[in-house]
Amino acid sequence: ARIGEVVRTTKETDVKVTINLDGSGICNCDTGIPFLDHMLDQLASHGLFDLNVMAKGDLHIDDHHTNEDVALALGTALLQALGDRKGIHRFGDFSAPLDEALVHVVLDLSGRPYLAYDMSIPTERVGTYDTQLVEHFFQSLANTSGMTLHIRQLSGKNSHHIIEASFKAFARALRKATEYDERRKGSIPSSKGVLSRA
Protein backbone atom coordinates (compact mmCIF):
# COMPACT_ATOMS: atom_id res chain seq x y z
CA ALA A 1 0.00 0.00 0.00
CA ARG A 2 1.24 3.48 -0.85
CA ILE A 3 0.65 5.14 2.50
CA GLY A 4 2.49 8.01 4.14
CA GLU A 5 2.10 9.03 7.78
CA VAL A 6 3.69 12.05 9.41
CA VAL A 7 3.52 13.55 12.88
CA ARG A 8 4.85 17.10 13.14
CA THR A 9 5.00 18.78 16.53
CA THR A 10 6.32 22.27 17.21
CA LYS A 11 5.67 24.94 19.81
CA GLU A 12 3.05 26.33 17.43
CA THR A 13 1.23 23.25 16.14
CA ASP A 14 0.65 19.53 16.58
CA VAL A 15 -0.18 17.90 13.25
CA LYS A 16 -0.79 14.30 12.19
CA VAL A 17 -1.34 13.43 8.53
CA THR A 18 -1.98 10.09 6.84
CA ILE A 19 -2.49 9.71 3.09
CA ASN A 20 -3.30 6.58 1.09
CA LEU A 21 -2.69 7.22 -2.61
CA ASP A 22 -4.77 4.18 -3.57
CA GLY A 23 -7.82 5.06 -1.54
CA SER A 24 -11.42 5.85 -2.41
CA GLY A 25 -11.72 9.52 -1.44
CA ILE A 26 -12.38 9.21 2.27
CA CYS A 27 -11.55 12.39 4.18
CA ASN A 28 -11.33 12.76 7.94
CA CYS A 29 -9.87 16.21 8.51
CA ASP A 30 -10.04 18.54 11.48
CA THR A 31 -7.53 21.38 11.38
CA GLY A 32 -9.57 23.88 13.36
CA ILE A 33 -9.83 25.93 10.14
CA PRO A 34 -13.21 25.14 8.52
CA PHE A 35 -12.36 26.42 5.04
CA LEU A 36 -9.08 24.49 4.97
CA ASP A 37 -10.96 21.34 6.00
CA HIS A 38 -13.34 21.96 3.09
CA MET A 39 -10.40 22.22 0.67
CA LEU A 40 -8.75 19.07 2.04
CA ASP A 41 -12.06 17.31 1.45
CA GLN A 42 -11.86 18.39 -2.21
CA LEU A 43 -8.33 17.00 -2.41
CA ALA A 44 -9.40 13.61 -1.08
CA SER A 45 -12.66 13.40 -3.00
CA HIS A 46 -11.35 14.38 -6.42
CA GLY A 47 -7.95 12.73 -6.06
CA LEU A 48 -9.46 9.51 -4.68
CA PHE A 49 -6.97 9.65 -1.83
CA ASP A 50 -7.85 8.57 1.70
CA LEU A 51 -6.77 11.50 3.83
CA ASN A 52 -6.66 11.94 7.59
CA VAL A 53 -5.48 15.26 8.97
CA MET A 54 -5.68 16.16 12.65
CA ALA A 55 -4.19 19.49 13.69
CA LYS A 56 -4.13 21.65 16.79
CA GLY A 57 -2.46 25.00 16.44
CA ASP A 58 -2.17 28.54 17.76
CA LEU A 59 -5.34 29.72 16.03
CA HIS A 60 -5.75 32.39 18.71
CA ILE A 61 -2.91 34.16 16.85
CA ASP A 62 -4.05 33.38 13.29
CA ASP A 63 -4.32 30.48 10.83
CA HIS A 64 -0.84 30.89 9.36
CA HIS A 65 1.15 28.33 11.37
CA THR A 66 -1.53 25.63 11.19
CA ASN A 67 -2.08 26.14 7.45
CA GLU A 68 1.67 25.93 6.82
CA ASP A 69 2.39 22.95 9.04
CA VAL A 70 -0.53 20.94 7.66
CA ALA A 71 0.84 21.51 4.16
CA LEU A 72 4.41 20.65 5.20
CA ALA A 73 3.23 17.42 6.84
CA LEU A 74 1.01 16.55 3.88
CA GLY A 75 3.91 17.02 1.47
CA THR A 76 6.15 14.82 3.60
CA ALA A 77 3.45 12.13 3.81
CA LEU A 78 3.06 12.29 0.03
CA LEU A 79 6.83 11.91 -0.35
CA GLN A 80 6.72 8.79 1.84
CA ALA A 81 3.75 7.30 0.01
CA LEU A 82 5.39 7.76 -3.39
CA GLY A 83 8.50 5.84 -2.39
CA ASP A 84 10.85 5.36 -5.35
CA ARG A 85 8.06 6.46 -7.75
CA LYS A 86 8.45 3.36 -9.91
CA GLY A 87 5.79 2.93 -12.55
CA ILE A 88 3.86 6.14 -12.00
CA HIS A 89 2.87 8.60 -14.71
CA ARG A 90 4.84 11.32 -12.86
CA PHE A 91 3.21 14.20 -14.76
CA GLY A 92 -0.35 15.40 -14.29
CA ASP A 93 -2.50 18.26 -15.48
CA PHE A 94 -6.12 19.26 -15.13
CA SER A 95 -8.37 22.27 -15.66
CA ALA A 96 -11.23 22.52 -13.19
CA PRO A 97 -14.18 24.86 -13.60
CA LEU A 98 -16.42 26.02 -10.79
CA ASP A 99 -19.12 28.25 -12.23
CA GLU A 100 -17.31 31.36 -13.52
CA ALA A 101 -13.92 30.23 -12.18
CA LEU A 102 -11.45 28.14 -14.16
CA VAL A 103 -8.05 27.05 -12.83
CA HIS A 104 -5.39 24.99 -14.60
CA VAL A 105 -2.84 22.92 -12.68
CA VAL A 106 0.21 21.16 -14.10
CA LEU A 107 2.58 19.20 -11.88
CA ASP A 108 5.63 17.00 -12.07
CA LEU A 109 6.62 14.61 -9.28
CA SER A 110 10.20 15.35 -10.20
CA GLY A 111 11.85 15.54 -6.80
CA ARG A 112 12.52 19.22 -7.46
CA PRO A 113 10.37 21.64 -5.45
CA TYR A 114 9.06 24.63 -7.36
CA LEU A 115 5.83 26.62 -7.32
CA ALA A 116 4.60 28.92 -10.08
CA TYR A 117 1.46 30.57 -8.74
CA ASP A 118 -0.63 32.88 -10.89
CA MET A 119 -3.89 33.50 -9.06
CA SER A 120 -5.77 36.71 -8.42
CA ILE A 121 -8.16 36.22 -5.51
CA PRO A 122 -10.33 39.33 -5.18
CA THR A 123 -11.07 39.27 -1.43
CA GLU A 124 -8.75 39.09 1.56
CA ARG A 125 -10.85 36.42 3.27
CA VAL A 126 -13.23 33.57 2.60
CA GLY A 127 -15.11 33.20 5.84
CA THR A 128 -12.32 33.57 8.38
CA TYR A 129 -9.64 32.15 6.07
CA ASP A 130 -6.95 34.54 4.85
CA THR A 131 -6.73 34.02 1.07
CA GLN A 132 -2.97 34.76 1.11
CA LEU A 133 -2.61 31.38 2.77
CA VAL A 134 -3.58 29.52 -0.41
CA GLU A 135 -0.24 30.26 -2.07
CA HIS A 136 1.60 29.50 1.15
CA PHE A 137 -0.18 26.14 1.43
CA PHE A 138 0.86 25.04 -2.05
CA GLN A 139 4.42 26.38 -1.59
CA SER A 140 4.86 24.42 1.63
CA LEU A 141 3.43 21.26 0.09
CA ALA A 142 5.67 21.54 -2.98
CA ASN A 143 8.73 22.12 -0.81
CA THR A 144 8.41 18.94 1.26
CA SER A 145 7.03 16.65 -1.46
CA GLY A 146 9.61 17.64 -4.07
CA MET A 147 6.98 18.62 -6.60
CA THR A 148 7.13 21.07 -9.48
CA LEU A 149 3.73 22.75 -9.39
CA HIS A 150 2.17 25.33 -11.70
CA ILE A 151 -1.21 26.85 -10.79
CA ARG A 152 -2.80 29.32 -13.15
CA GLN A 153 -6.18 31.02 -12.83
CA LEU A 154 -7.79 31.41 -16.24
CA SER A 155 -10.97 33.12 -15.04
CA GLY A 156 -12.97 33.81 -11.91
CA LYS A 157 -14.57 36.52 -9.81
CA ASN A 158 -15.71 34.68 -6.69
CA SER A 159 -12.91 33.97 -4.20
CA HIS A 160 -14.45 30.75 -2.89
CA HIS A 161 -14.93 29.43 -6.42
CA ILE A 162 -11.38 30.30 -7.48
CA ILE A 163 -9.75 28.61 -4.50
CA GLU A 164 -11.97 25.54 -4.65
CA ALA A 165 -11.30 25.16 -8.37
CA SER A 166 -7.56 25.27 -7.66
CA PHE A 167 -7.82 22.44 -5.10
CA LYS A 168 -10.02 20.35 -7.40
CA ALA A 169 -7.65 20.83 -10.32
CA PHE A 170 -4.68 20.01 -8.08
CA ALA A 171 -6.41 16.86 -6.83
CA ARG A 172 -7.12 15.57 -10.32
CA ALA A 173 -3.64 16.43 -11.60
CA LEU A 174 -2.05 14.68 -8.61
CA ARG A 175 -4.30 11.67 -9.10
CA LYS A 176 -3.15 11.41 -12.73
CA ALA A 177 0.52 11.79 -11.78
CA THR A 178 0.44 9.17 -9.00
CA GLU A 179 -1.48 6.52 -10.95
CA TYR A 180 0.42 3.66 -12.52
CA ASP A 181 1.35 3.67 -16.20
CA GLU A 182 0.86 0.11 -17.47
CA ARG A 183 3.27 0.64 -20.36
CA ARG A 184 6.06 1.65 -17.99
CA LYS A 185 5.98 -1.81 -16.35
CA GLY A 186 7.34 -0.63 -13.01
CA SER A 187 10.27 1.38 -14.29
CA ILE A 188 11.17 4.81 -12.92
CA PRO A 189 9.76 7.55 -15.17
CA SER A 190 13.02 9.39 -15.73
CA SER A 191 15.82 9.14 -18.29
CA LYS A 192 18.20 9.42 -15.31
CA GLY A 193 16.80 6.24 -13.81
CA VAL A 194 16.06 7.89 -10.46
CA LEU A 195 13.60 10.37 -9.01
CA SER A 196 14.43 11.62 -5.55
CA ARG A 197 13.84 14.59 -3.28
CA ALA A 198 17.59 14.98 -2.65
pLDDT tens-digit readout, 162-188: 999 999 999 999 999 999 999 888 888
pLDDT, tens digit, 9 for 90 and up, residues 93-115: 999 999 999 999 999 999 999 99
Per-position DSSP letters for 53-110, written without gaps between them: EEEEE-TTT-SHHHHHHHHHHHHHHHHHHHTT-TTB--EEEEEEEETTEEEEEEEE-S
Tell me the pairing of strands 148-155 and 114-118. Answer: parallel
pTM: 0.96
Q: Which domains does the chain have, with CATH numbers?
A: 3-178 (3.30.230.40)
Can you name the residues that pair with 8 across neighbouring β-strands?
A: 15
pLDDT tens digits for range 17-33 = 999 999 999 999 999 99
- Residue 4's nearest CA partner among 85, 57, 84, 73 is 73
